[in-house]
């Protein structure tokens, strides 16, 4: 289709054309400058809806450019700690809930070539993403990562050893289970104790580090799915909705039905 003959095209045809090239925005044959040239043609058209489409597409370009810059900076942040080939990011989810395990994930990304086609756009603190976006990103992360692992420590160990010990231990297990041995480990929030690999802890790391953000996402997706399964087993507590966290509904259920087998009894002292 020749977009230069825009005056002969219906709005529907133009819209379909723009939609198709948006999906190819990172291909070798199309760049933002080409798409911006198309937008100029749209804005010169006499039809208001075509002009509006051109303006909307320009906003799309700006948004995509900003996202590429944001995520590229996250990759560069990881690389800023030194000339390491294998850098692992590790994060946890489930430190605060009243029930279920604490889960950690470790991810090693490919930093050999940082460009718009290879970086994983959309990565961020998992709590800032919708459930559907997290699931989509988790699949992409697992496909593109050089290595990843997911580990969990259950409620019994949390009650026996305390959440701080379990948080540290679940980080270590996730790192040990990686198929590629990291030379540097970036951990979210906390330094890893009794650990023999170089470690840098990063405050709010899931918004700064690409590898930590990826770990945050796959850990949360894994734990949320696990809590949905527990929700089917223990129907009174709506684990699918609250993931074990202490919502008002969850606390009322504990008071009415008592704790179930996956509750952390050490977390319920002020409730029952």
Binding residues for a divalent metal cation: 91-92, 188
Choose among 143, 148, 77: nearest CA to 114: 77
Radius of gyration of the chain (CA): 23
Task: Say if residues 254 and 272 touch (Cβ distance below 8 Å).
Answer: yes
Q: Which helix or strand (DSSP H or E) is residue 251 part of?
A: helix 248-257
Separation of alpha carbons 240 and 101, rounded Å: 14
Q: At what angle do helices 131-144 and 210-233 cross, to 10 degrees?
A: 120
- Provide the annotated binding site: 91-92, 188
Separation of alpha carbons 153 and 131, rounded Å: 23
Written as six digits, the tokens of 192 are 């890893």
Sheet containing 199-202: order of strands: 147-153, 102-108, 87-93, 184-188, 199-202
| 3-class DSSP assignment, residue 72 | helix
Task: Say if residues 109 and 145 touch (Cβ distance below 8 Å).
Answer: yes
């Amino acid at each position: 289709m020749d977009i230069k003959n825009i005056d002969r095209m219906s709005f529907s045809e133009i819209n379909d054309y723009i939609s198709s090239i948006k999906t190819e925005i990172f291909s070798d044959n199309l760049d933002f400058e080409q798409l911006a040239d198309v937008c100029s043609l749209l804005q010169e058209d006499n039809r208001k809806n075509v002009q509006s489409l051109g303006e909307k597409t320009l906003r799309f370009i700006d948004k995509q450019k900003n996202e590429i810059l944001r995520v590229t900076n996250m990759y560069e942040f990881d690389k800023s700690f030194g000339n390491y080939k294998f850098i692992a990011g590790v994060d946890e989810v489930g430190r605060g809930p009243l029930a279920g395990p604490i889960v950690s994930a470790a991810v090693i990304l490919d930093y050999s070539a940082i460009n718009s086609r290879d970086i994983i756009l959309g990565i961020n603190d998992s709590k800032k993403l919708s459930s559907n976006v997290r699931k989509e990103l988790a699949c992409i992360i697992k496909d593109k990562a050089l290595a990843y692992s997911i580990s969990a420590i259950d409620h019994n160990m949390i009650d026996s050893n305390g959440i701080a010990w379990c948080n540290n231990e679940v980080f270590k297990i996730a790192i040990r289970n990686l198929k590629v041995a990291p030379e540097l480990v970036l951990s979210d929030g906390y330094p890893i104790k009794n650990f023999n690999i170089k470690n840098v802890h990063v405050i709010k790391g899931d918004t700064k580090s690409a590898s930590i953000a990826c770990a945050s996402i796959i850990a949360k997706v894994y734990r949320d799915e696990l809590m949905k399964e527990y929700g089917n087993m223990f129907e009174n507590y709506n684990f699918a909705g609250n993931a074990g966290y202490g919502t008002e509904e969850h606390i009322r259920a504990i008071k009415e039905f008592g704790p179930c087998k996956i509750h952390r009894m050490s977390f319920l002292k002020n409730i029952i």
